[in-house]
Structure formats: structure tokens, C-alpha cells
Structure 1
Amino acid sequence: MTKSLAPAPEPAAPRPRRWRDSKKLDQWIAFWTVPVFFSLFGLVFVPLSWMMPPRSPSAPQSEIVEFMQSPNLLIACVILTLAFGMAPISNACYLNQIRRMSVSPVLRYSLMAGAMTGTIVGMLFPMFCFGLGAFRPGYDPAILAMLYDFGYLAFIGSLGCFCIMWMAFGLAIILDQNNVLPKWLGYYTVWQYVTELMAAPVWIAKSGPFAWDGLMTFWFAMALYVPWQIIVYLCIYRAIKNQPEDELDNVDLGPRVAA
């Protein structure tokens, strides 16, 4: 007699991959902190403290004292103190993509060093200057005027740090043979940050287009910078999305077989 053969069991359907199993999860977490940081940064410098748009370097002393003694400056400093730690995370997203490029690590290190220097001078110094002015009432008006100048000159006049930093980023894109980011973004980046050299005259001009609140030094630079920053952000998003998983250094997230 022939024995009836039982049908072979069907292979189990593969378990759907959970979002936390993604090898890019850490990159996406870092990536999405960027809009959070810039939103808080804008909140601090614009509607909360009105540090930006920059006030005039030739403002009368009474206006400077009123601004520097505003209690909103202290609230702004509290928020910025809690938020500025996210700035290095956004730079880490850029550094991780440069690491994939066929360029020398010197460009990556240049961006890293420039980011650290620029953050200290361009963000922490202004925060301490404006916050210190509001911390204790009764400061001499001349001291408040000095802190006012120091804060704005540090914020607007420190763009050389960022210029070198982003020049390294642009050159890395241009020289890369792996096409991690589009070449046009590299040329756009270099051109954008060459224009930042127009901030140098803020140390000389107290009025006109090259003062720290001037048409060329601030408004023209912002008209170029804001679209560029959004475009870079979108290009980094595509680079992370298109990065093959076999390029990642993460540990294997597959199921472990018990010995």
C-alpha cells in the first residue's frame, strides 16, 4: 500500500519589519532634531527676544539700555541653553555623509573644527552677552552698550568660522567620486559662503549697507542663506534615504540564533 504523504507545511510568512529595527534609526533621530533646533533657535532670536533682525549699531543709548534690560532676554537664554546641544547633532548628519565620500578626512575634520569654533563665537558669546545684560538690573549704561556691541559683533562678525567650515563641505561634494550629494550643491555651497565674506566690514561700518544690520551684510546674506540651508537639509534627507544598508557600521539587527 502506498502511504499518503502529508502536504509540506508552508513556510512562515516573514515577520514585518518594525520601525525600530531600521539600521538607519539613529540617523533619522539625529536628522529630525535639526528642524526642532532651528525652530527653537528662531523662536529665541526673533519673537521672544527680538535680537533679530539686528538692531542698529548707532541706536541711542536709551534704546540699548531698554533692550539689554528686557526680562525676555533671560527667558531666551534659558531656552537656548537647553537647545544648543542639538546643533552638533545636525553637523553630525553632514559629517556622516562626508565620511561616505571619496575625499580626504581633512575636509571632514575642517568642518568639525569650524562647527565647534563657530558655535562658541556665533551662538554662545551672544547668548552670554545679552543674557548678562539682563541678569542684574542697574548696570552702567556704558557697560550695557559694550555688551550690546560684543553680542552683535560676535553673532554677525564671526561668519569667517562658518565660511571655512562650509567651504570644506562644498569642496568635499565637488571632489567626491561617489556622488553622495549632487555636484551642483557643492558649487552652490562654495558660492553661498564666499558671499559671507561681506560680513567682515561690520567691524568698521556703524551705518549703511555694511553695518551689522545693513542691506548687504545681513539682509542679502539671509536671502541667500535661508534657501541654501533648506536645500542642504533636503539633500541630506535624500542621501540618508538612498544610503545602502551594507555601508552602515551598525551591528547586525537580524534574529539571533541560540547556541
Structure 2
Amino acid sequence: MPRRRDWHELPEEVRRQIEQRTGAVHAAYSVPTGASCDLAAVVDTDSGRVFCKGGAAEGPAAWLYRNEARVNPWLPDVAPRLRWTVEAEGWLILGFEYVAGRHPGLAPGSPDLTAVADLLATQSRLLTPSPPVQVQRFADRWQGLIAPNLIDGETLLHTDMTPRNFLVGDRLWLVDWSSPACGAAWIDTALMLVRLIRASHPPVEAEAWAAQIPAWGHASDEALHAFADGLVCLWERKQRSAPGPHHGPLIDAARRWRDHRVSRNGR
């Protein structure tokens, strides 16, 4: 993850162009965790509070910022609106509608679980078929991990179901659409299901939670078994190439789901 920059470290021209869009900046508060970007800050301006994120316009994460800027106009109101972009002095900064909130709890008995299921149901319904925006096909992203026909589809997916990307405020929001893809409508639910297992849900209860989301009913047993196996392979590969403390619990959760699928199917 790049070193997080403070507002005052932006080039003067970048700050000037932002202020042309927002009015004077009165205060800026760096966000120390979350998105893998050079700058993440809440900024108080004449026109209200804005969330700014971004980094080097030609840096290794620039494609993520451009993904998010491209897809945002097509998203339903589960996502904060992109208000403006500034590209100057080698920087690319995105300015979003500011939403306040906490991250949802995913542990068994959490009152947030219903809202998460409702959001995923709404999102898959409104984004099927995918709007006409260019994104990667999920089957291409998972090439070599699973038969493409099992995960192909026409739904615009978020694909990064970490609880850090959900904010519970006046309602539930889903942020950071930097890794969108087009694929089967049930994929985001499957990715969240594994997060529930990590949060101590038994796999059978996590699947029961997923069953309340209509798109889940369109996933075949064959597809779910192959997806669980592919997810284990993917996260094991990530752990080998870029070890991180969060990978171990995710691998364990994916393995528990895969083993449940194998046991259930007698395979």
C-alpha cells in the first residue's frame, strides 16, 4: 500500500483546481485506513463536505481510479455520487459525495445482516443487465480457475465484498467500485458469504443467509462448488505472491465453504 499523503502535500495547482469545483477548503482530514490510494481525505469546503481519493495519474493504482470514475455514473444510489475529477501535475483525484457511517457487523446475530442482504438484492436487480459501461468480464479475471460458462453473466458486479466497503449511516452504502466486473448475478453474494464464514457463521448458516437474495437461486450446485474451489486457489496464490495477515483467515473461510460444498454434494 502506498504511503498515505496529506492534503497539504498535493501540488498547489491540484488544490487550486479542486477549489474551483468546491469553493474554498477550510479543513482536510486524512483517512488512515481503507482504500489503497495515495490520498484519501475528508475535505470541508464552501460547498460542503467531500471525500477525495486518488494518486499518481500514471501510477500502479491509476487504473483503479479510472475504473471507479468510469462506472460511477451508471450505479444505483447504493453508491455515493462522483462529483468531479481533477487530473493535473501528475495527480488524478476523485471527489465523491460524502457519506458518514460505520462499517457493518457481520457476526451471527448482527442487526446489519438484513440490510446487507437487501442491498445486494437491490444491486443485482438494478444492475442486470449491466449498463453499457466497459468493464472486465469476471470470467476473464478468473481465467484458469473455473470454467467460464459457470460464472459468466450480464450483471455489473462490485467484487470487493470487504466490510470496509460498506457504510451504515442514514442507510447502507457500498463504496469503492474500483474493481467492477461483468458476470453472474450471484457472485457478489458468494463473495460476501465467505466474509460471513470468516465472521464465525457456519457455512450452512451463511448459505441460508445468502438464500434470501434472489440472484442466489440462479447459481447451480456445480457453479457454487467450482467457485468455492476457485476462491481457495485464488487466495492461496495471493498469499504466496504477496503475503498478508488478512489472507490466512480468508483462505480458512474459503476452505470451510469448499469443504461444506464437497460434503453436501458427496464429492
Bigger helix share? 1
Bigger strand share? 2
Larger radius of gyration: 1
Shared fold, TM over 0.5: no
> Please, what TM-score do these two structures have when normalized by structure 2?
0.29
> Please, what TM-score do these two structures have when normalized by structure 1?
0.29
